[in-house]
Amino acid sequence: MSFENLSEREQKILRVLIDHYISTAEPVGSRVLANRYPLQLSSATIRNTMQDLEEMGLIKQPYTSAGRVPTDEGYRLYVDSLINPQPLPEEIARQLREQLMNRQKRAVEDILGQTAHVLAQLTSQIGVTLAPSVDRGVISRIELVPVSERRLLVVLGIHAGIVRTVLLEVSADVDRKTIEDTQMALNERLAGQTLGTLKTNGADRLRDDQRADARLVKVFFDAANDLVQRPPGETLHIDGTANLFTQPEFTNHDVLSGVMRALEERLPIIQMLQSRGVGEGLIVSIGREVKIQGAEGCSMVAANYRVGRIEGTVGIMGPTRMEYAKVVSIVDYVAKLLSEQMEG
């Protein structure tokens, strides 16, 4: 179903029906629309048009004698063609800048956690942030820091301020000069390369360098995957799950349990966010499009933010009955702020 296939009357009634349902969470009848909105149409005409919209699969009747509610297809058409984008109120924009654009140096994880919290607060939904996938990140520095006689802390710096660390065990004592020489060789041969290169052919770049200690190089590359990869649960920040309990959609225990299970497992949400291609910009996934078992009654509004050459994701998850125009504006603005904060 496309927007062009609807008559002007059908477009108008679908828009106000969804607007009303979003604000009230109550099935909408023709009399309500006739009395509360300046449609200049009789209740009978509105009722006939609603029947047509139902036959098109854009609205449905949840139970006998009830009004109508939007279907996923109705929301899809509404989001794609019928909503009027809302400019972000200056008060909200100012609040976002104050809370997110903290010029003090903070860890990426702290920034992402704060961002998820702010998104949840502003929208009364669930705020989510996904850390950048660092495979395309460029190595800025490598440090080998002696911790004890046979333990080294490896610090891997990535452009845009991301840092990975791992504690390594070495089989024999290593003197400080050997550590310093190996660190110099690692930096000269690997700095400026992507982390993907580190995993695929980084060892080849050190093969003919006589300064690098073979034992340290081997231990370093054996631990390379730990440096580059993080457990999936650590890359996702979720805030605002308590907001679910305020939504009428989740008074049903089975529905609430399905969403809570998806949030606890985390991996399905990460996979859903990562399935969106880089550069696609802001994306709205509705209902079944979310493709998370147990969250079929939810929508996700997500946008990419950039950290140097790599990207992460911010978004809002909530019931399909959400204020899309408002949420879209907030998520888009936050993604731009986060890019600016990370680059700074």
Q: Do residues 120 and 208 share a domain?
A: no
Q: Is the pLDDT of residue 122 over 70?
A: yes
Q: Do residues 240 and 332 share a domain?
A: yes
Q: Is the pLDDT of residue 333 over 50?
A: yes
Q: Do residues 125 and 237 share a domain?
A: yes
Tokens 């109550």 locate to 26
Q: Do residues 123 and 250 share a domain?
A: yes
Last residue of a domain, one of 228, 243, 269: 228
Residue 148: which residues within 8 A CB-CB, separation 6 or more? none
Q: Do residues 186 and 239 share a domain?
A: no
**Bridge partner residues of 299 (DSSP):** 286, 318
Q: Do residues 111 and 247 share a domain?
A: yes
Q: Do the Cβ atoms of 16 and 56 come closer than 8 Å? A: no
Q: Which of 328, 260, 325, 334 is nearest to 298 (CA)?
A: 260
pLDDT at 30: 94
Q: Is the pLDDT of residue 195 over 80?
A: no
pLDDT at 230: 61
Number of domain units in the chain:
3
**Angstrom distances, CA of residue 37 to CA of 28, 40, 48, 144:** 12, 8, 17, 69
Q: Do residues 127 and 142 share a domain?
A: no
Mean pLDDT of 103-117: 79
Last residue of a domain, one of 175, 203, 228: 228
pLDDT at 182: 86
**Bridge partner residues of 265 (DSSP):** none
pLDDT band at 320 (very low <50, low <70, confident <90, very high): very high
Average pLDDT, the chain: 85
Enclosing domain of residue 186:
135-228
pTM for the model stands at: 0.80
Q: Do the Cβ atoms of 335 and 132 come closer than 8 Å? A: no
Q: Do the Cβ atoms of 46 and 10 come closer than 8 Å? A: no
In this structure, what DSSP letter does residue 171 have?
S
Between 297 and 311, the higher pLDDT residue: 297
pLDDT at 343: 67
Q: Do the Cβ atoms of 317 and 298 come closer than 8 Å? A: yes
Residue type, 132: P
Q: Do the Cβ atoms of 129 and 113 come closer than 8 Å? A: yes
Q: Do the Cβ atoms of 132 and 251 come closer than 8 Å? A: no
Q: Do residues 107 and 242 share a domain?
A: yes
Maximum CA extent, the chain:
89
Q: Do residues 313 and 216 share a domain?
A: no
22-57: per-residue pLDDT in tens? Answer: 999 999 999 999 999 999 999 999 999 999 999 999
**Complete DSSP assignment for 112-146:** HHHHHHHHHHHHTSEEEEE---GGGPBEEEEEEEE
pLDDT band at 233 (very low <50, low <70, confident <90, very high): low
Tokens 């990562």 locate to 274
Q: Do residues 124 and 239 share a domain?
A: yes
**Complete DSSP assignment for 52-119:** HHHHTTSEE-SSTT--BEE-HHHHHHIIIII--PPPPPHHHHHHHHHHH---S---HHHHHHHHHHHH
Sign of CA dihedral 50, 51, 56, 58: positive
Encoded tokens for 255: 């529905």
Residue type, 65: S
pLDDT at 106: 65
What phi and psi values does residue 257 have, to the nearest 5 degrees? -60, -40
Q: Do the Cβ atoms of 96 and 24 come closer than 8 Å? A: no
Q: Do residues 276 and 209 share a domain?
A: no
Encoded tokens for 135: 């495979």
- % of the chain exceeding 70 in pLDDT: 89
pLDDT band at 190 (very low <50, low <70, confident <90, very high): confident
CATH number of the domain bearing residue 9:
1.10.10.10
Q: Do residues 221 and 175 share a domain?
A: yes
Q: Is the pLDDT of residue 278 over 50?
A: no
pLDDT band at 144 (very low <50, low <70, confident <90, very high): confident
pLDDT at 74: 96
CATH number of the domain bearing residue 107:
3.30.450.40
pLDDT at 23: 94
